[in-house]
C-alpha cells in the first residue's frame, strides 16, 4: 500500500511538472498559480497567539521572492521564504528563475519575524506550482531547512490556542524525540486545547496531510509517562540499615511524597481534556506506592518525585507570564522559611537531608526568578519554568518534612568538628570537575562552615555527573552494583540508595527488553556507587560530630539580620541613656546634699566662733 501511494505521489508530481512546462511554454508572463494557507504566530507584546493567512501568487518572472502585507518583515522570515521557494522548485525539478513568488501575509498592522512559517511557505509554493488545493481546516508551523527537514519552533502553546479558537481541526508541527521535553509540551498543548498535533519530519511527509488528505487517525502526539515495572518478580528490599536509621521516619518521607503527588493529580483530574494524563499519573502513583510497600522507600518516592514536576507543570499550564512569576515568588517564600530545626547526635541523617533539599530548592527557584524575563517570553517559556518550579517546590516540601522529623527524633544539639573541613575541601575539589547545582551548593555550604552539607553535596556532584561505570558491560555493572550495595548500609540514606540499586538490579534481570535492561543495569550501578560513598562518609560524619559550643562570631552576627541589629543597638543606646540619666540624677542629688552639708558646717563653725568670743568676753 505504501509503495502504491508513493508511486501515486511521484506520478502526480510528474504530471504537474508537465503542466507547468506547457504553461511556461505558452506564455512568458502572467499568472501561474495561487494558494493560501493558515499559519499561526505569537504576538509577543501581549503573549497571545494569532492565526494569520498567507497567500502566494506565482507568476512568470526571473526568480524574485517577496513578502508583502506587514509593516515590516524580518530577515529571518524573508530568508525562510527564499529557502521555501528553493526547496519547492528543487522538489518539483523546475527552474525557480523562471518565476516570481509573492507571499502576502494578511496581518497588515504588525511586524513579522522568525522562520517558523517556512513549512507553510514551502507547501504554498508546491501547491501553487502544481495547482493543488490546500484544505482550510488545518494549520502548520515549522522552519524549513535546506534538505527539506522541518526545524523546531517555539510558541506552540500560544499558536495552538489561536488555532483552536479559529476552528482548526489539526496542526502539523516539527517531529521531536519521543522522550524529549518538546514532545511532553506537544502532548500537554494537544490535551489542553483538544487539537491533534501531527508531527512531521520533512516536507515529503507534510504534503501527504496538506495536499493529499492523508488521515490523521492515530497520528496525534503521545507522551508515555508510565513505566511498567515487573513488580511481581521483585522481592522485598534486601538491605537493612545500621547506625541511626529510624526506618519508619523514612517510610513517612515516601508517604509524604505520595500525598504531594496525589494533590496535584486531583487538580488536573478536574479537566476532562486531561483524562489520559490523569490516568497515566494515577497509574504511576499506584506503582510507586507498590514499590515502596516492598521496602524500596527511596526508589518508590524518587519515581513519584520525578513525575511530580510533570504534574505540577500540567496543573499550572495556563499561567500567564505574570502569574508564572507569582508562582515562583510563592515557592521562594516557602523555601526561604523552612521549619526551624537543629542538628543533634540522633537526627543528623534527617537534618542534613533536609538542609540538602532546601539548598537545592532555594538555588533552583532563585535561578528561575533571576532568568525569568529572558526565559518566559511566551507561554512555552512559562510552562518550562513551571516544570522546574515543580522540582524546587517538591524539594522544599521534602525538606520541611525532614526538619519536622528531626525535631521529633530530638537528641542533644551537636555540631560538626572542624576536622571535617579538610575532608569537605577534598570532596569539593573532586566535584569541581563536574559543574552542577550540587557543586554550587557544596561550595556555598563550605563557605558557611557547614562541612556536613558540603560533603554530601560534593558526593552527589561527582557521583551523578562523573560517568561511573563507563566502559563496563551489563554483566559487570550488575555484578559490581550488587557487591557495592551490600556493603553500603551505614545510615538510612546509603541503605535506601543501596536498596534502589537492588531494585534496578532485579528489574534489569527480569525485563525482556534488552535496551531497557541495559538502562536498568546502569541505574543500578549509579545508585550503588552513590550508596557506597554516602555510607563511607556518613560514618566519618557521625564520628566527627561534637557537642554544640555556642560562639559569637562575625558569621553569627551576619545571620542576625539588619533589622535585628538595629533593634539591638537601639535597646543598648536606650539603656545607656537611662543609666546616664540615673547617674546624673544621683550626682545632682549628691551635689545638693554636699552643699547643704557645707552650709550646716559653716553654721556650726560660725556658732562656735560666737561662743568663743562670748567666752573670752566673759573672762574679761
Mean pLDDT of the chain: 89
Residue 23: its pLDDT value, please?
44
The Cα 505–Cα 521 span in angstroms is 6
Which residues in 338-442 belong to E strands, given as ranges?
414-416
Q: Which of 278-282, 423-427, 602-606 has the lowest mean pLDDT?
A: 602-606
Per-residue model confidence as pLDDT tens digits over 78-102: 999 999 999 999 999 999 999 999 9
Which residue, among 142, 68, 56, has the nearest Cα to 99 in the 3D structure? 56
Residue 583: its pLDDT value, please?
75
Burial environment of residue 529 by CB neighbours within 10 A (0 to 12, 13 to 18, 19 or more): buried
The Cα 397–Cα 399 span in angstroms is 5
Collapsing DSSP to helix, strand or coil, 270 comes out as: coil
Q: Which residue has the cell 539548598?
A: 359
The Cα 397–Cα 334 span in angstroms is 8
The Cα 131–Cα 334 span in angstroms is 61
The Cα 344–Cα 409 span in angstroms is 9
The Cα 124–Cα 133 span in angstroms is 10
The Cα 530–Cα 524 span in angstroms is 10
Q: Which residue has the cell 490523521?
A: 216
Collapsing DSSP to helix, strand or coil, 480 comes out as: helix
Task: Concatenate the DSSP letters of all residues of 1-22 into one string.
Answer: -HHHHHHHHHHHHHHHHHHHHH
User: Sorting pLDDT into bands at 50, 70 and 90, what band is 468?
Assistant: confident
Q: How many CB atoms lie within 10 A of CB 515?
A: 8
Percent of the chain beyond pLDDT 70? 87
The CA-CA-CA angle for residues 154, 360, 288, to 5°, reads 80
Residue 46: its pLDDT value, please?
76
- Would you say 410 and 344 are in contact if contact means Cβ atoms under 8 Å apart? yes
Cα-based distances in Å from 581 to 532, 569, 573, 576, 587: 67, 18, 12, 9, 10
- Would you say 483 and 532 are in contact if contact means Cβ atoms under 8 Å apart? no
Residue 605: its pLDDT value, please?
53
Could you tell me the three cell numbers for 400?
A: 520541611
User: Sorting pLDDT into bands at 50, 70 and 90, what band is 561?
Assistant: low
pLDDT greater than 60 at residue 604: no
The Cα 267–Cα 246 span in angstroms is 33
The Cα 521–Cα 474 span in angstroms is 6
Per-residue model confidence as pLDDT tens digits over 488-543: 999 999 999 999 999 999 999 999 999 999 999 999 999 999 999 999 999 999 99
The Cα 96–Cα 64 span in angstroms is 9
- With left for phi above 0 and alpha for psi between -120 and 50, is residue 469 left, alpha or beta? left
The Cα 258–Cα 286 span in angstroms is 9
Could you tell me the three cell numbers for 412?
A: 542533644
Per-residue model confidence as pLDDT tens digits over 326-357: 999 999 999 999 999 999 999 999 999 999 99
- Would you say 202 and 145 are in contact if contact means Cβ atoms under 8 Å apart? no
Backbone angles phi, psi at 442, to 5 degrees: -65, -45
Residue 39: its pLDDT value, please?
96
Residue 565: its pLDDT value, please?
58
pTM of the complete model beyond 0.85: no
Q: Which residue has the cell 494569520?
A: 52
User: Which helix (DSSP H) or strand (DSSP E) does residue 416 occupy?
Assistant: strand 414-416
Which residue, among 433, 242, 398, 215, has the nearest Cα to 309 in the 3D structure? 398
Could you tell me the three cell numbers for 281?
A: 499519573
The Cα 353–Cα 244 span in angstroms is 13
Backbone angles phi, psi at 151, to 5 degrees: -85, 155
Burial environment of residue 595 by CB neighbours within 10 A (0 to 12, 13 to 18, 19 or more): exposed
Domain ranges for the chain, please list them.
Answer: 2-210, 557-619
Label the pairing between strands 72-73 and 138-140: unpaired
Radius of gyration of the chain (CA): 38
Residue 610: its pLDDT value, please?
46
Per-residue model confidence as pLDDT tens digits over 33-60: 999 999 999 987 777 899 999 999 999 9
Cα-based distances in Å from 503 to 37, 83, 442, 500: 53, 52, 29, 5
Structural class in CATH, domain 2-210: alpha beta
Region 275-301: mean pLDDT is 97
Query: Within its chain, how far is the Cα of 554 from the centroid?
Result: 35
Task: Concatenate the DSSP letters of all residues of 211-228 into one string.
Answer: TS----TT-B--------
User: Sorting pLDDT into bands at 50, 70 and 90, what band is 16?
Assistant: low
Torsion of CA 509, 510, 512, 514, to 10 degrees: -20
Per-residue model confidence as pLDDT tens digits over 226-269: 999 999 989 999 999 998 899 999 999 999 999 999 999 999 99
Residue 568: its pLDDT value, please?
67
Amino acid at each position: 500500500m505504501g509503495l502504491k501511494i508513493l508511486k501515486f505521489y511521484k506520478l502526480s508530481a510528474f504530471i504537474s511538472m508537465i503542466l507547468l512546462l506547457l504553461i511556461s511554454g505558452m506564455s512568458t508572463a502572467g499568472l501561474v498559480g495561487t494558494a493560501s494557507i493558515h499559519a499561526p504566530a505569537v504576538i509577543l507584546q501581549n503573549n497571545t497567539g494569532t492565526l494569520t493567512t498567507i497567500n502566494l501568487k506565482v507568476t512568470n518572472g526571473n526568480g524574485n521572492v517577496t513578502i508583502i502585507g506587514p509593516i515590516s518583515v524580518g530577515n529571518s522570515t524573508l530568508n525562510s521564504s527564499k529557502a521555501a521557494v528553493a526547496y519547492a522548485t528543487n522538489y518539483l525539478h523546475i527552474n525557480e528563475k523562471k518565476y516570481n513568488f509573492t507571499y502576502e501575509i494578511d496581518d497588515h498592522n504588525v511586524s513579522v519575524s522568525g522562520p517558523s512559517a517556512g513549512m507553510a511557505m514551502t507547501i504554498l509554493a508546491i501547491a501553487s506550482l502544481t495547482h493543488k488545493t490546500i484544505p482550510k481546516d488545518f494549520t502548520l508551523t515549522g522552519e524549513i531547512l535546506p534538505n527539506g527537514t522541518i526545524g523546531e519552533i517555539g510558541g506552540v502553546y500560544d499558536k495552538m490556542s489561536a488555532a483552536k479558537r479559529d476552528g482548526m481541526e489539526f496542526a502539523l508541527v516539527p517531529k521531536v524525540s519521543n522522550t524529549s521535553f518538546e514532545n511532553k509540551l506537544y502532548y500537554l498543548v494537544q490535551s489542553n486545547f483538544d487539537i491533534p498535533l501531527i508531527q512531521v519530519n520533512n516536507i515529503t511527509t507534510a504534503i501527504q496531510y496538506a495536499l493529499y488528505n492523508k488521515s490523521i487517525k492515530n497520528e496525534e502526539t503521545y507522551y508515555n509517562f508510565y513505566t511498567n515495572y515487573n513488580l511481581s518478580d521483585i522481592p522485598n528490599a534486601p538491605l537493612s540499615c545500621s547506625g541511626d536509621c529510624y526506618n519508619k521516619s523514612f517510610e513517612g518521607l515516601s508517604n509524604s511524597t505520595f500525598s504531594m503527588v496525589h494533590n496535584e493529580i486531583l487538580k488536573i483530574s478536574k479537566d476532562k481534556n486531561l483524562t489520559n494524563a490523569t490516568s497515566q499519573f494515577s497509574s504511576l502513583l499506584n506503582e510507586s506506592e507498590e514499590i515502596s510497600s516492598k521496602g524500596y522507600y527511596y526508589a518508590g518516592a524518587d519515581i513519584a518525585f520525578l513525575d511530580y514536576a510533570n504534574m505540577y507543570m500540567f496543573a499550572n499550564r495556563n499561567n500567564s507570564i505574570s502569574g508564572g512569576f507569582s508562582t515562583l515568588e510563592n515557592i521562594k517564600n516557602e523555601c526561604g522559611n523552612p521549619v526551624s530545626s537543629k542538628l543533634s547526635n540522633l537526627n543528623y541523617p534527617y537534618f542534613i537531608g533536609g538542609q540538602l533539599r532546601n539548598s537545592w530548592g532555594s538555588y533552583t527557584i532563585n535561578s528561575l526568578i533571576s532568568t525569568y524575563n529572558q526565559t518566559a517570553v511566551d507561554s512555552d517559556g512559562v510552562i518550562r519554568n513551571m516544570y522546574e518550579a515543580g522540582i524546587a517546590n517538591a524539594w522544599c516540601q521534602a525538606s520541611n518534612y525532614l526538619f519536622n522529623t528531626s525535631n521529633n527524633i530530638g537528641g542533644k544539639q551537636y555540631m560538626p568538628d572542624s576536622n571535617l573541613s579538610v575532608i569537605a575541601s577534598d570532596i569539593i575539589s573532586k566535584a569541581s570537575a563536574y559543574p552542577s547545582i550540587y557543586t554550587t551548593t557544596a561550595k556555598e555550604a563550605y563557605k558557611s562552615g557547614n562541612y556536613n552539607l558540603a560533603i554530601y553535596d560534593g558526593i552527589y556532584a561527582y557521583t551523578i555527573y562523573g560517568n561511573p561505570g563507563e566502559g563496563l558491560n551489563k554483566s559487570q555493572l550488575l555484578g559490581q552494583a550488587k557487591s557495592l550495595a551490600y556493603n553500603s548500609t551505614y545510615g538510612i540514606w546509603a541503605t535506601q540508595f543501596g536498596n534502589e540499586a537492588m531494585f534496578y538490579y532485579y528489574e534489569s534481570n527480569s525485563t525482556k527488553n534488552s535496551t531497557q535492561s541495559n538502562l536498568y543495569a546502569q541505574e543500578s550501578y549509579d545508585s550503588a556507587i552513590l550508596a557506597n560513598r554516602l555510607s563511607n562518609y556518613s560514618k566519618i560524619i557521625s564520628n566527627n560530630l561534637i557537642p554544640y559550643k555556642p560562639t559569637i562570631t562575625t558569621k553569627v552576627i551576619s545571620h542576625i539580620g539588619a533589622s535585628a541589629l538595629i533593634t539591638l543597638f537601639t535597646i543598648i543606646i536606650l539603656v545607656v541613656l537611662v543609666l546616664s540619666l540615673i547617674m546624673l540624677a544621683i550626682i545632682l542629688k549628691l551635689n545638693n546634699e554636699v552643699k547643704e552639708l557645707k552650709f550646716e558646717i559653716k553654721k556650726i563653725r560660725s556658732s562656735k566662733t560666737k561662743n568663743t568670743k562670748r567666752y573670752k568676753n566673759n573672762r574679761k
